Amino acid sequence: MSGKRRLGRGLGALIPEALPENEKESDIKEIDIHRIKPNPYQPRTNFDENKLRELAESIEQHGIVQAIVVAPEKDQFILVAGERRYRAARMVGLKTIPAIVREFSKSAMLEIALIENLQREDLNPIEEAEAYRKLMEEFNMTQDELARRVGKSRSAIANTVRLLSLPQAVKEALARGDILPGQARPLLALPDQETQSKMAQQIIAKGLTAREVEKMVSRAGKERERRTPSRQEIMPKEPQLAEVIEQLQRHLGTKVRLVKGKQGGTLEISYYSEEDLERLITLLLPDNIT
């Protein structure tokens, strides 16, 4: 069985505006396929041609088993769900296609396309991250709201969206499947994109596991600290502050530095892997913050 967690609810349960689980035959209409426009909110940009051809052969033999979903727009229709069926139907030259016509908001069109692809596990990690970000930015959703809508945990949403801050070359490698999200996330702890890109090249060349990447990132962090002036050189000499820093380090189990500026200063807390960051967040955030 695949290690990926499948969504446990259908579109109708996740999005009230979506289809009921068993649509009535009277709801289905045959629509001129040339009057249908692609969903402008479709998060998926890459479609496997071989799988499309397989679906096209099935359609040619058995017809369209499940109707697509469209929204009316003047004398045309916008495709909401069923992009693979729509593309395969065009490949075999169908003139009409069975469809259910419904009114949808823009946010629902994006959500339905997103969830349909998530259920099929068709999106690459960057397409998924872009879709989450679009939902949050364009429709003012919080991570908590989005997590409830798509049936995932808030941390899963946050970890996926964070991949968008990686260098373009690393994001392209993620989209191609050369690197997996678990291998890429530790790179976010590195100080700059050039270092992230170089380490990503090593991951691909050496076939490193996620655990091996975390260890490499941890060693790189410790090496940077070794080259940084010691805490005694940049810490204030007040005994009370030094004692507080020592207590923080014991409590958090990691290096803590206090750097004074002309006005105020910064409190630096080091972490060395994705798991280490999650541990620190748990320690630092009160239980009642979600």
Is there a contact between 159 and 181 (Cβ–Cβ < 8 Å)?
Answer: yes
**Tokens found for residue 178:** 């050369």
* Whole-Å CA distances, 93 to 28, 56, 101: 20, 10, 22
Residues 6 or more apart in contact with residue 280 via CB below 8 angstroms: 252, 254, 269, 271
Q: Find, among 160, 158, 149, the residue nearest to 125 by Cα.
A: 160
Q: β-pairing, 96-101 with 68-73?
A: parallel
User: Is 183 in contact with 209 (CB distance < 8 Å)?
Assistant: yes
Structure tokens at 193: 């994109």
Handedness of CA 138, 144, 146, 148 (dihedral sign): negative
Query: Distance (Å, rounded) from C-alpha 113 to C-alpha 146?
Result: 14
Nearest to 64 by CA among 50, 49, 81: 81
Instruction: Please pick, among 83, 116, 127, 274, the residue that the annotation labels catalytic.
Output: 83
Give the tokens for residue 98. Answer: 């069975």
Q: Which residue has the tokens 């962090």?
A: 221
Tell me whether residue 103 is one of the annotated catalytic residues: no
Please list the active-site residues. Answer: 83
